[in-house]
Chains A and B, each alone.
Chain A
Amino acid sequence: MLVQLAQAGPVIPTFQRGSTCERENRHFCWDWFSSHWSNTFVPRLVEHIELVAIAVGIGFVIAMACALIAYRWKWFDGPATGVFAFFYTIPSLAFFQLMVPFTGLTRLSAEIALISYTLLILFRNIVTGLHEVPPDALEAAQAMGLTRNQTLWRVELPLALPAIMAGIRIATVTTISLATIAAFIGVGGLGQPIFNAIQTGFKTQFIAAGVLAVLLAFVADALLVLVQRLLTPWARARVG
């Protein structure tokens, strides 16, 4: 398909006029990439980060609220997991398209889909983390006269933090990947140059955007690991 599209005719204006590398459509043309870095890739990268940050941020708030409810009232766990798992199974391309009749070709449509995908991962990880708090720590908290809320904020949530952070890491990396598909409904992000490149067959653009998305995922994950280490100094403090 790439080949056919490329043969259909010059879509990118520079195709016939650019450097030899561009005209021959080699795998990666550095000069094209560097000349388009600031006006094409930086804005797309920023859009992408925004899409992901908003989705994971709002997803986290919703998942945390639901997890706290499910932790206190067990009956809520099953239905919530069911609904979030249902969202998770909807094919992503279809989900974005599905939102268009309701919220149009807008960022809102993209965010609703992206948030929905984060919920299952975040919710399950938070609930699991809370359930894995050592029972002896809870008994001590109770015996020392901590109230329910004090126990939650001072003991349960801090001890669930590693599991919660693991959830945020998976959700973030997944959303960075999914957000490229959001370009399908025209909301920008790194998916846009990828979609363009699929239509034109211009390899440099395709590879540059793809590699940037992968790098973004790595960097985001590394930053989250760093945040986790700062938040849980006790996890590394062991005998010897």
Chain B
Amino acid sequence: MDREAGSAAAIEFCDVSKRYEGRETHAVHELSLSVPAGDICVLIGPSGSGKTTAMKMVNRLIDITSGDITIGGQSVRRLDLTELRRGIGYVFQQIGLFPHMSIEDNIGTVPRLLGWPKQRIHGRVAELLELVGLEPSDAKRYPGQFSGGQRQRIGVARAMAADPPIMLMDEPFGAIDPITRERLTDDFLRLHAEVRKTVIFVTHDIDEAIKVGDRVAILKAGRLVQYGTPDEILAAPADDFVADFVGADRGLKRLRLRRLRDIELEPVSENGDVADLPTVDERTSLRDALSLMVTQRVTALVVLDESGEPRGMVGMQTLAHFADAEEATA
């Protein structure tokens, strides 16, 4: 693969099918979708929907039965297997750190295979450890000395070691307690905003999908049911299966996608008794704003900008408009 390291590459599934030997039905059936370079595409569906199979066909951990997947226009079927895999970062739930190697050797695995000079690997490891929030002194320790959350960070650092344009993530934070998971997800999104890799992210958790994905592909029994931005999917589920899958509270979920600073606010009324209304930071999500209204038993809030000055007001009606699932917003 002659792709320039560091730059993201678009991934395109073209009529990709997978049928396991001896099975009647397809695990993945004529899947077509394109992931723009630098985006996070979440594959989601119930177990048996083919989401993991679809992801593993990208680095050919699973062979493609028919159709093709291209990375930056190049067919994965025509690329040398080891080269293909060394150019794709891979993170999975079990992490798979090598217990007998130090953190430095774990992270440096692919750069070593690619023949990087020692000094460069050393520098890269230090850089990555900092990027994922670990200490440089951790480089010489072994995986057994770290907690699950820390190990997952090391797993992410290892996947990014050779600066691959693409990352595959198979329920990467699935085995981690909810609080750590939340933080890892936030950190990962921050990291992604910096490095902009093309990511295929598999999960069965709709909340995680909505939070992480630039685009979400919903699969059912090997077929793509709907592909769109989280907002599109929450606003207009393609069918009952999707509506069911995203949940009855999809309106509330939509509210979480926006922050107060992203919407048009009503002017602060001059005569109304604004002083009695609770105030809220403009970085608050619409959902948290609604929650505040409900708990404070009010129908409007005063929104403050970062310097603490009132910027405007938001009312229950506005929130209801954004929660309205039937009304798709551009």
Interface of A is mostly: helix
A94 interface contact, C-beta 8 A = no
Bound together, the chains give a CA A233 to CA B99 distance in angstroms of: 10
Across the interface, name the chain A residue whose C-beta is closest to B168: A143
**CB-CB contacts of A85-125 with B at 8 A, as 1s and 0s?**
00000000000000000000000000000000000000000
B98 neighbours in A (Cβ, 8 Å): 137, 140-141, 154-155, 159
Which residues of chain B from 92 to 108 have a CB within 8 Å of any chain A CB?
92, 94-102
Q: Are A139 and B85 in contact (CB under 8 A)?
A: no
Q: Which of B137-145, B267-275, B292-300 lies at the binding interface?
A: B137-145
B107 to A: closest C-beta gap in Å? 11
Given contacts A147-B82, A159-B98, A159-B99, 8 further A-B contacts (CB under 8 A): A134-B96, A136-B94, A140-B90, A143-B96, A144-B113, A161-B100, A234-B100, A237-B145
**CB-CB contacts of B272-313 with A at 8 A, as 1s and 0s?**
000000000000000000000000000000000000000000
Chain A contact residues, CB within 8 Å of chain B? 134-147, 150, 154-155, 158-159, 161, 232-234, 237-239
Known: A136-B94, A159-B99, A234-B101. A144 touches B145 (CB 8 A): no
Q: Are B146 and A137 in contact (CB under 8 A)?
A: no
Q: Are B97 and A238 in contact (CB under 8 A)?
A: no
A135 to B: closest C-beta gap in Å? 8
B158 neighbours in A (Cβ, 8 Å): 144
Bound together, the chains give a CA A159 to CA B82 distance in angstroms of: 22
**CB-CB contacts of B183-222 with A at 8 A, as 1s and 0s?**
0000000000000000000000000000000000000000
B119 interface contact, C-beta 8 A = no
Bound together, the chains give a CA A146 to CA B84 distance in angstroms of: 11
Across the interface, name the chain B residue whose C-beta is closest to A233: B142
Across the interface, name the chain A residue whose C-beta is closest to B114: A145
Q: Are B99 and A134 in contact (CB under 8 A)?
A: yes
B81's contact among A134, A145, A234, A237, by CB below 8 Å, is which?
A145
A134 neighbours in B (Cβ, 8 Å): 96, 99
A142 neighbours in B (Cβ, 8 Å): 61, 85
Across the interface, name the chain B residue whose C-beta is closest to A140: B96
Known: A145-B113, A234-B144, A239-B144. A136 touches B85 (CB 8 A): no
Q: Which 6 A-B pairs have the closest CB atoms?
A: A140-B96, A145-B85, A136-B94, A143-B90, A136-B96, A145-B86
Which residues of chain B from 104 to 142 have a CB within 8 Å of any chain A CB?
109-110, 113, 141-142
Bound together, the chains give a CA A143 to CA B60 distance in angstroms of: 9
Across the interface, name the chain B residue whose C-beta is closest to A147: B82
Known: A234-B144, A237-B141, A239-B147. A144 touches B86 (CB 8 A): yes
Known: A144-B90, A145-B86. A238 touches B100 (CB 8 A): no
B250 to A: closest C-beta gap in Å? 34
Interchain residue pairs with CB less than 8 A apart (11): A135-B94, A139-B61, A139-B96, A140-B92, A143-B92, A144-B113, A145-B81, A145-B86, A147-B82, A158-B100, A238-B144
Which residues of chain B from 41 to 96 have a CB within 8 Å of any chain A CB?
59, 61, 81-86, 88, 90, 92, 94-96
Interface residue tally of chain B, by bracket? 20 to 34
Across the interface, name the chain A residue whose C-beta is closest to B93: A136
Across the interface, name the chain B residue whose C-beta is closest to A161: B100
B101 neighbours in A (Cβ, 8 Å): 234
A135 neighbours in B (Cβ, 8 Å): 94
B83 neighbours in A (Cβ, 8 Å): 145
Q: Are B99 and A234 in contact (CB under 8 A)?
A: yes
B110 neighbours in A (Cβ, 8 Å): 144-145
Bound together, the chains give a CA A159 to CA B147 distance in angstroms of: 20
Q: Are B99 and A137 in contact (CB under 8 A)?
A: yes
Across the interface, name the chain A residue whose C-beta is closest to B105: A154
B81 neighbours in A (Cβ, 8 Å): 145
Across the interface, name the chain A residue whose C-beta is closest to B56: A143
Q: Are B85 and A144 in contact (CB under 8 A)?
A: yes
Q: Are B145 and A238 in contact (CB under 8 A)?
A: yes
**CB-CB contacts of B226-247 with A at 8 A, as 1s and 0s?**
0000000000000000000000
Bound together, the chains give a CA A233 to CA B100 distance in angstroms of: 8
Across the interface, name the chain A residue whose C-beta is closest to B99: A234
Bound together, the chains give a CA A154 to CA B106 distance in angstroms of: 11
A155 neighbours in B (Cβ, 8 Å): 98, 100
Across the interface, name the chain A residue whose C-beta is closest to B81: A145
Across the interface, name the chain B residue whose C-beta is closest to A139: B96
B94 neighbours in A (Cβ, 8 Å): 135-136, 139
B160 to A: closest C-beta gap in Å? 12
A137 to B: closest C-beta gap in Å? 5
| Most A-side CB within 10 Å, residue of B100, B102, B109, B145 | B100
Bound together, the chains give a CA A210 to CA B23 distance in angstroms of: 65
Q: Are B145 and A239 in contact (CB under 8 A)?
A: yes
